[in-house]
Amino acid sequence: MDIRVSVIGAGSWGTTVAALASRNTPTMLWSRREELAQQIDQDHENGDYLAGFQLPAGLRATADLERAVSGADVLVMGVPSHGFRGALEAVKPFLRPWVPVISLSKGLEIGTRLRMSQLVEEVLPGHPVGVLTGPNLAKEILAGHAAASVIAMDDENVARAIQALFKGDLFRVYTNEDIVGSELGGVLKNVIAIAAGMADGLGAGDNTRAAVITRGLAEMTRIGVALGGDPMTFAGLTGMGDLVATCISPQSRNRFVGQCLGEGQKIDEIIATMNMVAEGVKTSKVVMEIADEQGVELPIAAEVRGVCHEGRSATEAYDGLLNRGSTREMDSRSFGR
């Protein structure tokens, strides 16, 4: 018997995940816009976010939320963090008991500072919850390039069943029981990617980029471990892998924001020109609130917050980082400072 997958959210990554699943099992993609749903369902294209890419003919799409959710055996949430709670509340009346819910979002809820898996547990108690995350640039996957991802769940049996739904000839899916670390890797790398983008916008070289990525990984690991993640997770696909892809790719929205900031543009002007969400902008503020509470030092993230929310320039941010004192790189007491 086929396992029916429904994906909520027809952005670039939600559409790509739905396309992957549709090659293995019946899959329905929900779009809030009727016109886009019809285009995906009938023309097998998503002109809003993935123009020029042909989607599988077997992928179905609808703007009817009840239709999308009521028949799902696995529900995938592909909406940004700021709309995640509202989307969960909307699907709740139509979702059958015990259906696993998988998050694709890489952000934290403003105010509560909850991870998306925690939101699922709060709004939809009793449903197995997991995250699908990793260094996954949507257009490269649709173009047929090899990639790998992670399905993180605390139930290995359920994870393996879901793993099979998304894997493909060139898309490998691993399992990991560390939901906290896997999810936080996807959240935190967006902040570091803004810093890497600022370096690009300022005209810095590859040495600077390498330093930002490496020290950024140290910051991600430090705060991630403080919040309960496994340090080894941050050395894998959901940590280092996702960080590298997001910091170096021209397709990365967060790197793009950073580059524009480095070139002297204002954050409000940059966001106004984008049709997709750069999660790292809001996340930088939330992450620093958590870091301050935990007593964890995150100098790169602090400078990103300063530029995105406190009126600092990218030049001032990098001057602040360069003027910091040096410590032993691997000193456990100052790791990553």
How high is the pLDDT of residue 246? Answer: 95
Pick the catalytic residue from 189, 266, 282, 285: 189
SS3 readout for 252-303: CHHHHHHHHHHCCCCHHHHHHCCCCCCCHHHHHHHHHHHHHHHCCCCHHHHH
**Do the domain assignments include residue 22?**
yes
* Amino acid found at 239: G
How high is the pLDDT of residue 151? Answer: 98
How high is the pLDDT of residue 277? Answer: 74
Domain boundary among 177, 194, 228: 177
How high is the pLDDT of residue 326? Answer: 66
**189 given a catalytic annotation:** yes
At 116, which CATH number? 3.40.50.720
**Do the domain assignments include residue 331?**
no
How high is the pLDDT of residue 276? Answer: 72
| Apex 91 CA angle, 89 and 95, nearest 5 | 125
How high is the pLDDT of residue 76? Answer: 98
Place of tokens 């197995």: 128
Structural domain that includes position 264: 184-322
How high is the pLDDT of residue 330? Answer: 66
How high is the pLDDT of residue 332? Answer: 45
Mean pLDDT by 10 residues, the chain (337 residues): 94 97 98 97 96 96 98 97 96 98 95 96 97 96 96 95 95 97 96 96 93 96 96 97 96 94 93 83 93 95 96 91 70 43
**Do the domain assignments include residue 126?**
yes
Core vs surface per residue 236-259: b (16+ CB within 10 A) or e: bbbbbbbbbbbbbbeebbbbbbbb
